[in-house]
Structure 1
Amino acid sequence: MKKHKKEHHEDHMDETWLVPYSDILTLLLALFIILFAAGQIDQKKYERIMAGFNSAFTGGTSVFESTSELNIDITDDNMGKNNDPVTTETDSLLAAARAREDRDMSDMKAKIDQYIKENNLSAQLETRITEEMLMISIRDYALFDSGSALVKTEAQKLAYIISDILRQYPGYNVEVAGHTDNLPINTAEFPTNWDLSSRRSLNFMKYLLQSDGLDQSRFRSIGYGEFQPIATNTTEEGRAKNRRVEVNILRNFGQPTSIFSSER
């Protein structure tokens, strides 16, 4: 009988290895939870803080100049809370910057609209404020002869007026964009609509930059060809609307979308 009990005890498997194994699994699970949580809070705070730090108030006053000290506290105690000091202060700064930007956009639009009204140019120019920009749309015949990229003499005054306004609001990037209708062009100078729209935007931007006091590093020109229509190309009226140059004054605190995908 004693011999039987001894053999049964010897055949029983040693399970002591399960204790450290379960401890390792528990530690790994805790580590992954901590890493995931830390990654989530870091991403949210990074987006908010960097948006405030890397953007500038209009006129060149940066967020760093607007606050003496920012104590960044990304701890477990602040995870999931909306009232931590960094988030609150950063959100306040961004709200003030957006409000200032809205005023600038409205002021610029009002000045250009006044010029349009005084010179009876409503059929040639149009302004519009979007979430991404202040858009000044100019019909092509106001700037160029048909099939040409040479800026008309009378249109050069318009370039000066716009650049004078831009000088008063130096904190914004400016895109000058050329657009055509979908009728093909094939000349020695302009083999495609890409060429025509690009040259037109570049030539008009050059007249904008002839005025002193503009930061040329904030400007760029681009040709969209026929691929950003705002009206149908099946009628002459629609094609006339599509042939245009836009001066887009881009927001610093607008939606974080590329202007290449903006609704126009």
Structure 2
Amino acid sequence: MAKAKKEAPPKKGCPAWQGTFGDLMNLLLCFFVLLFSMSTLDAAKYEEVAASFSAAFGLFSGGQNALGDGALVGDGVSQLSSLSAYTTSMGASSSGEAEDITDSTSGEETSEGASSDVSEAEATLEAAQLEASEELAKEVTEALQEGMSEEELAELTEEEVISDVILNYTSQYVQLTISGSLLFASGSSQVQESAYPVLNKVGAVLESYAGGTIEIEGHTDNVPISNSQFANNDELSDARALSVFYYILDVTDLDPANIKHSGRGEYQPVADNTTAEGRAKNRRVEIRIYNPLSAQY
């Protein structure tokens, strides 16, 4: 019997088609490198785009402004819209449409439209807040005047809600101003007994209508004080605000966490400190009831 022929060992190296394919890829790479080397980069336009991104989004100034300062996260959709406009204009630059898109759509119209929407929203919110404060002021006034006779109501001045209490309001809060002469003796921070009925009424109103933040501020005139208890008007005003705070807590079930108290000394006068009448008006305690639409509610 004839011996079987041994099969020839396979040749080493890659198949022939792989070599051809590799040569083709090298040629294509060289071709695109050649095209790139022949093209020119508009440095001025590149710097303009980079500067626009850096100013608007903080992307190129070290990287920290994008998220570290909260620019992109805080501004949200408005920045994404601007980024889309920039991207569109950059993509259209090859066909000569970039300048038109930037000027007509993503430029003045976008910023003016956004500003108009923001202004309109702010005006709507301001009006709603003012309406809420006005409604709250009416309810507080009725509650404070409940039980008063017609003669007592007739004796009130135009500003007073009840004797020694003046009410006004802003879009953020309703404010009750109580005369310092009613609440305290001169140079003292202890609430006088004559003020108990007024503070009891105020406490009942706060309990009924103050669902959020309440702020108590003490104020003085600019006459210097220095006695065994207080070194200056700052300490006196702070102690008076704290005394009213403690009294309100005693006569109500309000949560102390919702009540802020501070002394403002002589630094926010509402009248002329050169006259006795003006100084009397400046010695006061202000209680603010923030409405439900207020940012501090």
Please indicate the TM-score interval, normalised by the length of the shorter structure.
0.5 to 0.7
Change (3 A) 1:130 1:93: closer
Tell me if 1:186 matches 2:205: no
Aligned to 1:237: 277
Amino acid of the residue matched to residue 48 of structure 2?
Answer: L
Cα deviation digits, residues 112-152 of structure 1 (max 9, x gap): 35578559664522111134432211111211122211111
Contact 1:98 1:253 (C-alpha < 8 Å) held by counterparts? no
Gaps in structure 2 of 5+ consecutive residues: 1-36, 59-69, 86-105
| Equivalent residue for 2:140, pick from 104, 108, 121 | 108
TM-score (norm 1): 0.63
* Partner AA of 2:179 in structure 1: R
Cα deviations by residue, 1:189-247 (Å, 9 ceiling, x for unpaired) = 11211111111111011111224442322211111112211111222111111111111
Do residues 26 (structure 1) and 45 (structure 2) align? yes
1:167 and 2:207 correspond: yes
Q: Percent identity?
A: 27
Would the aligned equivalents of 1:135 and 1:246 in 2 still touch at CA under 8 Å? yes
Deviation at 1:92, TM superposition (A): 7.1
Q: Indicate if the aligned counterparts of 2:133 and 2:174 stay in contact, CA closer than 8 A.
A: no
CA distance in 2, matches of 1:82, 1:238: 47
Alignment-derived partner of residue 196 in structure 1? 236
The question of whether the paired residues in 2 share the 8 Å contact of 1:113 and 1:127 is answered with no
Once the 2 structures are TM-superposed, how far is the Cα of residue 72 of structure 1 from its aligned partner?
10
Residue identity matched to 1:206: Y
Larger radius of gyration: 2
Q: Are the aligned partners of 2:132 and 2:292 in contact in 1 as well (CA < 8 Å)? A: no
User: Which digits, 9 at most, give the CA deviation of each residue in 1:63-93, with x for residues without a partner?
Assistant: xxxxxxxx9995348954469x999999978
> Cα RMSD over matched residues?
4.3
Closer/same/farther in 2, CA of residues 139 and 98 from structure 1, 3 Å limit = closer
Instruction: With the length of structure 2 as denominator, give the TM-score of the two structures.
Output: 0.57
Q: Give the deviation of 1:184 after TM superposition.
A: 1.5
Structure in which a larger fraction of residues adopt helix: 2
Match of 1:65 in 2: none
1:137 equivalent in alignment to 2:177: yes
2:165 aligned with 1:125, yes or no?
Answer: yes
- AA at the equivalent of 1:26: K
Q: Summarize the Cα distance change of 1:227–1:98 in structure 2 as closer, same or farther, 3 Å threshold.
A: closer
- How many residues were matched structurally? 215
- Tell me how far apart the structure 2 counterparts of residues 235 and 97 of structure 1 sit (CA, whole Å): 36
Q: Retained in 1: the 8 A contact 2:222–2:273? A: yes
Q: Which has the bigger relative contact order, CA under 8 A and spacing at least 6?
A: 1
Paired residue type of 1:250: Y
Mark the runs of 5 or more structure 1 residues left unpaired by the alignment: 1-15, 50-70, 259-264
